[in-house]
Amino acid sequence: MTIGLEIIKEVLSLYNIKGQVTTVYDFIHYRDENELKIISKVDFTDRDSLVIKFVREDKHPSHIIESQSAFSEYLRSQGISTPRRYLSEDKYCIQYKLDYMYVDITVEDYIGEEIRTLDAHLAMKVGELMGKIHTLSENGNCLIGQSTIFDLLGYNEVSGYNTFCELSETHNIDVTMYQKIKELYHKRLEKIRVHWNTLPRFATQGDISINNLTYVGDTIGIFDYNIAGDETLVGDMVLEGLLLAYEMDLSFGLTDNDRASLFQHFIQGYLTERPLTVDEKNVLSDIYSIAFAFWFTKIKYDEHSLEKLIERNEKEKVGRLLHEIYTSLVRNDFDEQCELNWKVLGS
C-alpha cells in the first residue's frame, strides 16, 4: 500500500509535529501478509525533513525499537551526530493501525544522504566514531536487550564457517587440509571462550556501514539503529571493521588491494578513541583470525569464493584458497596487518 498524505499528517499529529508537507518519498517499501516495513522521507515547506518508519516484524518487537531509540537519543545527548527521535507523549515507538494490521511507528530527523564510497580518511573517521560510541555505551552501562547480527559465538551473518563445513563434507576436497583447518578453528575458538564472559559487552549501533553514514558539515553522522543490540565491543570492532573495509564500494583510484590498508586505518581510528582491555587484547588475534579466515564472501557468494570454485571444479584454486584459510588461522594476522604499537596508540 502507499502511505497517503492523510496518514502522514495523522502520524505527525500523534507526535505533535507541525508543518506543511510537500512530498513523501519511500526509501523502503516492503509488505507481505504478516510483515511490513515502510521507511518514508517527508519534506516540508516550513521545516527540515523527517523520516517516518512503519514496521511490523517479529524480529523487531516494539520494546526493542523503544530501547534502540533510547540508545540513539543517549548517544545524541553525548555529542554523537545522529538523528533526533521524537516522542509521542513518553514513547518513541507507538502502535498505529494501518489497514488490517497494527504497526510500530517512529519519527526522526533526516540528516542527509548516505555516503557512497570508502577511502582511507573515511575509514579512520568511522573507526573513531565507533570507538566513541563504544566508550559512551560502556560509560553509560547501555543495554538494549538483544544481540546484533555480528555475534561471534552466536548468530553471525559474516561467518562462512558452517558453509565451509558443508562444502567440505559434501564435495571431494583435501580431507587432510579440511581436518587441519577445523582443528585450528576450534583451538582458536576455545581461546576466545576462556575470556568471553570477561569482555566488555554493551549496546552498539550494530551496522556501521557507509550506507548508514552521512556528512554533517565536517562531522560523520550515523543513522539506522534497526539492528542495534548488545555485543562484545572488541568483536563488534573486528567484524564491523572487516565489513566496512572488505565489502563497501571504494573511492575512485582504490582497488581490492587497498582493503587491508583500509582495515588498518579503521582499527587505528578506533584505538585512538577507546583503548582495549587486557582481556580484549588477549583474544584480538583469535577473533580476527577466525573472522578473516571464514569471511562469508570468501566462502560463498563471491565469484572467487570456495563455493564458486568448487562448482566450477577449479581444483588448483580450491587448494590455494584452503591453504590461505589455513595460513590465516596459523598466523597472528591482526598484529601483522594492523602494525599495532600499543604504546603509541595509548593502549
> What pLDDT does residue 339 have?
54
- Kindly report, residue by residue over 126-138, the tens digit of the pLDDT: 999 999 999 999 9
> What pLDDT does residue 337 have?
56
pTM (two decimals): 0.93
Q: Once rounded to an integer, what is the mean pLDDT over residues 109-124?
A: 96
Q: Is the pLDDT of residue 343 over 50?
A: no
Q: What region, left, alpha or beta, does residue 19 occupy, with left being phi > 0 and alpha being psi -120 to 50 degrees?
A: left
Place of cell 563504544: 134
Q: Quick one: pLDDT band at residue 347, thresholds 50, 70, 90?
A: very low
- Kindly report, residue by residue over 209-263, the tens digit of the pLDDT: 999 999 988 899 999 999 999 999 999 999 999 999 999 999 999 999 999 999 9
DSSP state of 212: G
Q: What is the CA radius of gyration of the chain?
A: 22
Q: Is the pLDDT of residue 207 over 50?
A: yes
> What pLDDT does residue 345 have?
42
In terms of pLDDT, which residue wins out, 71 or 34?
71
C-alpha 330: how far from chain center: 27
> What pLDDT does residue 338 have?
58
| Type of residue at 13 | S
DSSP state of 335: H
Cα distances from 295 to residues 1, 32, 188, 285, in angstroms, run 38, 32, 15, 15
Here the cell at position 2 is: 502507499
Cα torsion at 124, 127, 128, 132 (round to 10°)?
170
Q: Is the pLDDT of residue 27 over 50?
A: yes
Q: Is the pLDDT of residue 335 over 80?
A: no
| Phi, psi (degrees; rounded to nearest 5) at 333 | -65, -30
Q: Give the span between the Cα atoms of 265 and 128, in whole angstroms.
A: 10
Q: Once rounded to an integer, what is the mean pLDDT over residues 16-34?
A: 91
Contact 261, 120 (CB under 8 A): yes
